[in-house]
């Protein structure tokens, strides 16, 4: 009896004293077209796939920041159907209203699903160059533009989108969630071991200089998410700089 009582008390102490900020894995999601997983308190990674011609089927990352039943999403999935799937999951599982979508550059893997967000009455933001380039490419065009820095509130938290210079494209920006020291680098940042990838709109001379500025601004970053592939830490900055340094 004493043995079982001791076990019961130990169990109560263990489960009752668990920290409240543990990641709830039961909120993760996976379908044929979309994966979502929590990577930190308030922050989720969304991953979908893009048919990218000679590059084949490419895995594409985006970020969701949640606080007080509000969310802000960085980059849409590449099409409207998957974007609607993402919105529905946020509303039904996180019980969060999507306050805004921020596209980090003008390519399809960042704004290809904007129409799904518009149909839900969700505001969109991007660099002013992104608006211009999207119009030229006859793509969906974000509604609101900025030049160097955008700050938006999500619940009681803040997120930022910031332009540091040219790289993968002339308009590429990054997302930053200061509470978690998390950077969504988008296609400006490469996963460790990645090839140079799509350079059709790139400025390879400026690319390493732009990433060096980003690292100098946020040396304290704990999590860095690339546009494609595995996330990591600031070693992704170093790898990207080395990949594009002029030899």
- Please tell me the distance from the alpha carbon of residue 60 to that of residue 191, in angstroms, as a whole number: 12
Q: Which residues contact 190 (CB under 8 A, 6 or more apart)?
A: 196, 197, 226, 228, 229, 236, 239, 240, 243
* Residue in 75, 80, 109, 201 annotated catalytic: 109
Please indicate whether residue 60 is annotated as part of the active site. Answer: no
Please indicate whether residue 105 is annotated as part of the active site. Answer: yes
Task: Determine phi and psi for 65, rounding to 5 degrees.
Answer: -115, 130
Please indicate whether residue 127 is annotated as part of the active site. Answer: no
Please indicate whether residue 196 is annotated as part of the active site. Answer: no
Please indicate whether residue 46 is annotated as part of the active site. Answer: no
Please indicate whether residue 110 is annotated as part of the active site. Answer: no
* Residue in 107, 127, 157, 215 annotated catalytic: 107
How many other CB atoms sit within 10 Å of the CB of residue 8? Answer: 10
* Residue in 46, 127, 157, 190 annotated catalytic: 190
Please indicate whether residue 109 is annotated as part of the active site. Answer: yes
* Residue in 105, 127, 157, 215 annotated catalytic: 105
Best CA proximity match to 118, nearest among 100, 130, 135: 100
* Residue in 99, 127, 215, 228 annotated catalytic: 228
Q: Which residues contact 209 (CB under 8 A, 6 or more apart)?
A: 165
* Residue in 157, 187, 201, 215 annotated catalytic: 187
* Residue in 168, 171, 172, 201 annotated catalytic: 168
For the annotated catalytic residues, the residue numbers are: 105, 107, 109, 168, 187, 190, 198, 228
């Amino acid at each position: 009896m004493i043995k079982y009582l001791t076990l019961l008390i130990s169990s109560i102490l263990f489960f009752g004293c668990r920290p409240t900020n543990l990641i709830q894995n039961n909120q993760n999601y996976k379908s044929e077209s979309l994966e979502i997983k929590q990577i930190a308190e308030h922050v989720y990674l969304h991953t979908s796939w893009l048919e990218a011609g000679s590059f084949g089927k490419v895995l594409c990352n985006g970020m969701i920041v949640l606080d007080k039943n509000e969310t802000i999403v960085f980059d849409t999935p590449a099409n409207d159907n998957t974007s609607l799937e993402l919105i529905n999951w946020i509303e039904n599982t996180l019980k969060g209203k999507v306050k805004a979508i921020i596209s980090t550059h003008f390519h399809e893997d960042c704004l290809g699903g904007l129409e799904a967000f518009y149909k839900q009455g969700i505001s969109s933001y991007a660099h002013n160059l992104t608006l211009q380039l999207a119009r030229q490419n006859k793509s969906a065009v974000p509604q609101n533009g900025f030049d160097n820095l955008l700050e938006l509130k999500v619940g009681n938290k803040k997120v930022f989108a910031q332009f540091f210079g040219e790289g993968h494209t002339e308009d590429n920006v990054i997302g930053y969630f200061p509470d978690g020291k998390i950077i969504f680098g988008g296609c400006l940042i490469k996963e460790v071991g990645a090839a140079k990838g799509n350079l059709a709109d790139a400025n390879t001379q400026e690319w390493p200089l732009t990433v060096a500025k980003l690292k100098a601004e946020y040396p304290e970053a704990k999590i860095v998410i690339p546009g494609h592939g595995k996330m990591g830490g600031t070693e992704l900055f170093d790898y990207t700089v080395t990949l594009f340094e002029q030899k």
